[in-house]
Structure 1
């Protein structure tokens, strides 16, 4: 049992020092400019998709509505993580206040949770479109899509709030140095002087609604989708059916595999630098490439871009 007098003499941590990337000044400057370009590209790409989906009538479909919601989540994640990361890179580390750190953890976890749930909803949308096309319009109505997206946001904000409150109640009375790029869950627990059993238990409990159920829905949907596609007699028909869900399947693989590598697979043999690089995959790279994946091979989005461009030209030259 701890001595109360010893506990009262401990200094309570009110701010943390994020180390960021340890390296030469030239490397950090290079990474700063690289991440700045990626940051601007992420915001522009996702804002473009949100704008096109909201203004182009041919994109007023469930699939594109969910894509726009994914873009909102990516923007939230990017704004939450990257600006402070750029500051840390430029200054060879930086401090962040306790409250700001907890807020960063909260919105980071909300964004990750929402994306897990939304990707499951999007797989269900593709399942209905391919396996039950005659009832697609009656099942995936606008009101139903809004309810599904709203439920994903509501679940993300509520269950992560209770988890973040538990994290904020941890005591930090020793080192305040976080060897990471941002306030992540595992590095925070590593420097806490409290018993983190309850937090770890809640993490395991939350993996069921946040990870296991969505991944089960995704796997089940795609098993049925593949089964249906293989029954299509013509190769052209099979290729057309698969093309409607190939972008979503690519995003699912990138997102889930990076999370599995960082949080599920054994990490004892990983260096801190490797962990930082891997964390960049889902905090910086994924929000950047999602708009590219969904627009690169998408004829509808390309047409919407062209129409918007010509509309602006005609507005300039009436």
Structure 2
């Protein structure tokens, strides 16, 4: 393994200037390729990881496709809430497809190499669809706020044109977020290492591999992450604050349960998405082990998109009814 690594270093290293931020000389490389270390280098675990991630990927794609099929096939589900849900399912399919297929291929071919442009592309798509998840969850919280706090004006406020505009705005904000991250990474001319301690090209790890002074880039990236993360979650908190305030004014307990039950699935997905994401970044900050961070990142990059269809299908009566109809029509 060490000989392969040394040979790869010699093969893909174009020049070796000194690192300007260090007091002494250090090998620095202008790379055309990176190495994704993955979750484990144990050969005995590779077949298990291959089967596990292939299974989770297929379940995620199939589950989210069923949600999209159910929403598109049943006219009773042609409402803003299910329109946003279908877009969330499509985003989850794209999100997991940016990382897991590459990891499965790497395990099967016993190769951990990803080209520089391939790494930038994967990073860009990861940010776009990850941010889209974030934005769509915020839009869905706004949808529940309007439905519960302004039920008589629901169809007027969330008309089809506005629903499409909200999804399009979510995509444009995600695209801008991705472009800003790309501009930051493209300014990094040299890297201290070619190994990324994860199974995908994590933008924060690319910054850590840079040889140049990344203070300004880190400040800009933190600002971008704050804007793309703080404002959406603030919108979700505000929406649920107003929702809970409105529900508490309902006199009957049955009315309270019925009103809050419409938010149960969305609230579960929000807690899962932000809980796993927050746990990963807090764990990475506390732990000095990049490999543990890679294992933890599986939770929000793979497990969360896989569980979303189950949460909505198990907690949503309309989705369950439509899926049963689809099953009975195919039998």
TM-score over 0.5 for the pair: yes
Corresponding residue number in structure 2 for 1:316? none
In structure 2, distance between residues paired with 1:302 and 1:227? 29
What is the aligned counterpart of 1:17 among 24, 35, 57?
35
1:29 aligns with 2:50: no
- Counterparts in 2 of 1:1-318, with a 5 A limit? 6=17, 11-90=29-108, 94-263=112-281, 267-313=285-331
Shift of 1:112: 1.4
2:114 alignment partner, SS class: strand
Q: How many residues align?
A: 310
1:267 alignment partner, SS class: helix
Shift of 1:84: 1.1
Decide whether aligned partners of structure 1 residues 243 and 99 sit closer, same or farther in structure 2, where only a CA change above 3 A counts.
same
Shift of 1:103: 0.4
Does structure 1 conserve the Cα–Cα contact (< 8 Å) formed by 2:103 and 2:199? yes
1:26 alignment partner, SS class: coil
1:12 alignment partner, SS class: coil
In structure 2, distance between residues paired with 1:28 and 1:6? 37
In structure 1, distance between residues paired with 2:44 and 2:290? 20
TM-score (norm 2): 0.88
In structure 1, distance between residues paired with 2:144 and 2:187? 42
Does structure 2 conserve the Cα–Cα contact (< 8 Å) formed by 1:20 and 1:93? no
TM-score (norm 1): 0.91
In structure 1, distance between residues paired with 2:204 and 2:16? 29
Comparing 208-217 and 70-79, the one that deviates more: 208-217
Decide whether aligned partners of structure 1 residues 23 and 291 sit closer, same or farther in structure 2, where only a CA change above 3 A counts.
same
Shift of 1:14: 0.5
CA RMSD of aligned residues (A): 2.1
In structure 1, distance between residues paired with 2:325 and 2:244? 34
Comparing 127-136 and 161-170, the one that deviates more: 161-170
Comparing 241-250 and 208-217, the one that deviates more: 208-217
Comparing 249-258 and 165-174, the one that deviates more: 165-174
Shift of 1:7: 5.6
Shift of 1:264: 5.3
Comparing 187-196 and 136-145, the one that deviates more: 187-196
